Amino acid sequence: MRLILALLFILSSTTFADETCMSPYMAKIKGQEDFVYVWTLGMPGVGDEQDKLVTVDVNPASENFGKVVNSLSVGGRNEAHHTGLTDDRRYLWASGLDTSKIFIFDVHTNPAKPTLSRTISDFVAKSGGVVGPHTNYALPGRMMVTGLSNNRDHGGRTAMVEYTNAGDYVATYWMPTADKLQGAVQSGKFADGFGYDVRALPRRNVMVSSSFTGWNNYMMNLGTLMGDAEAMKAFGNTVVIWDLHARQPRKILDVPGSPLEIRCAWNKENNYCFTTTALTSKIWLIYEDDEGEWQAKDVGDIGEASKVPLPVDISISNDDQQLWVNTWNDGLTRLYDISDPFNARQVYSKKIGEQVNMVSQSWDGKRVYYTSSLLANWDKQEPKGPDLQYLKLYSYDGDKLEPSFSIDFVAEKLGAPHQMRFGAYSLYQGKVAGI
């Protein structure tokens, strides 16, 4: 294990160009990424109305730079949401929050034109009732899939589900609750059993999971949801620390306000991760203290909570010095100085569009990609135009963002773009820089 970690950090230099939110077990792209794969929600009245994987050429040396080079529809609308690459980057897993289907794409045979390799349609049955596969996270030879809900009451109690890279079911790990702690320590008021994202810190034998809300809420119209006092109570307030190898929950931390994406530090001396809370607009630090105990602390504000900016995706820099934070409702991306992780300070902001959701930065931090869609029933409908549903690339010079290209996904009859993943020819030509 120590040898693997040493190789990982040797390879993690500024010569790499890869998303900084990826699993530490994953092979990295060396040099310029060639493609961005965009998991896209089908929209009524737009193109074929189906969910699809859209491939965009992002290599400036290509004659197709900034253009869609492939689109692969999967049939119907499944509430396309998050995706994840296997540790060898040969396959891309893409989930549907409504139908609980998982689509596995071959992205290595021809990176410019992925193909659908397998569809997992029995996720709920195999997992023992988990609904809403969300994060698809690479572990060695495995994919860990977080759920958002369950098939008993469609509320927020849920589990993580482990698969082989080939798509074969391995095991289900239910989130700890107050009545079923499973050996975990409940450190505060909450033990809700909700789920959302997961990340691993192999050097500490730790997985960290966050919490959102169940099918009843995420499939509801946003205006209706926000006007329903009882529904608004049904959001997660916890982060769980897991034993990575044993897959056992160790400690439940209070992080009130629905903690979403988790991004962990890369430097081997930094045993912490960040998350943001959607409902309370806070940056939280999840950290190991001097006694080896895991704690949670509110370390920064994101805009004005009363205006409900709704923090969504975040991206940490490879040197653990900066954190991009997107706020969906006002369409802003914000950059925070996290050189002191206990004091996150906003140093820059830019309006990206009418709404903004996902952010992916290259490993060297020089390129930052944005997409717009959150959930089909939550997305804004007006004003229509190039700043509503888009993929945008910006260059970042350490001071400000400058636009490189923008694709209007509605005008291109593609739908609503959600999550992005990088692809490159070099990965499959004997030039993979990974472990």
The tens digit of pLDDT for each residue in 176-187 reads 999 999 999 999
**Buried-state track 349-370, b at ≥16 Cβ within 10 A, e below 16:** bbebbbbbbbbbbbbbbebbbb
Give the SS3 label for residue 424. coil
**Buried-state track 243-255, b at ≥16 Cβ within 10 A, e below 16:** ebeebebbbbbeb
Residue 179 buriedness (CB in 10 A; 0-12 / 13-18 / 19+): exposed
Confidence of residue 15 (pLDDT cuts 50, 70, 90): very low
Domain membership flag for residue 231: yes
Taking all residues of the chain, what is their mean pLDDT, rounded to a whole number? 93
- The CATH number for 217's domain is 2.130.10.10
How high is the pLDDT of residue 435?
27
pLDDT higher than threshold 90 for residue 17: no
Q: Which domain range does residue 81 map to?
A: 35-427
State the average pLDDT over residues 146-163.
98
pLDDT higher than threshold 50 for residue 231: yes
The closest alpha carbon to 200, from 148, 259, 137, belongs to 137
Domain membership flag for residue 5: no
pLDDT higher than threshold 50 for residue 345: yes
Domain membership flag for residue 8: no
Element (DSSP H or E) covering residue 6: helix 2-11
Domain membership flag for residue 22: no
pLDDT higher than threshold 70 for residue 11: no
How high is the pLDDT of residue 297?
98
Per residue in 379-389, pLDDT tens?
999 999 999 99
Per residue in 289-338, pLDDT tens?
999 999 999 999 999 988 889 999 999 999 999 999 999 999 999 999 99
pLDDT higher than threshold 80 for residue 431: no
State the average pLDDT over residues 357-376.
96
Domain membership flag for residue 275: yes
How, if at all, do strands 248-254 and 185-186 pair? parallel
Domain membership flag for residue 14: no
> If you count them, how many residues does the chain have?
435
Task: List the beta strands (DSSP E) in 140-269.
Answer: 142-150, 159-164, 169-174, 185-186, 198-201, 206-209, 238-243, 248-254, 259-264
Number of domains in the chain: 1
Q: Are 61 and 89 in contact (CB under 8 A)?
A: no
How high is the pLDDT of residue 19?
80
pLDDT higher than threshold 50 for residue 10: no
The closest alpha carbon to 393, from 421, 355, 352, 431, belongs to 352
Give me the percent of the chain exceeding a pLDDT of 90.
Answer: 89
Domain membership flag for residue 6: no
Domain membership flag for residue 168: yes
Q: Please give the Cα distance from 249 to 236 (Å, whole number).
A: 16
Tokens at 319, concatenated? 């040197």
Neighbours of 402 (CB within 10 A): 10
* pTM, entire model: 0.94
Q: Please give the Cα distance from 431 to 251 (Å, whole number).
A: 40
Q: Please give the Cα distance from 296 to 286 (Å, whole number).
A: 5
Q: Are 93 and 103 in contact (CB under 8 A)?
A: yes
* DSSP assigned state of 157: B
State the average pLDDT over residues 67-79.
97
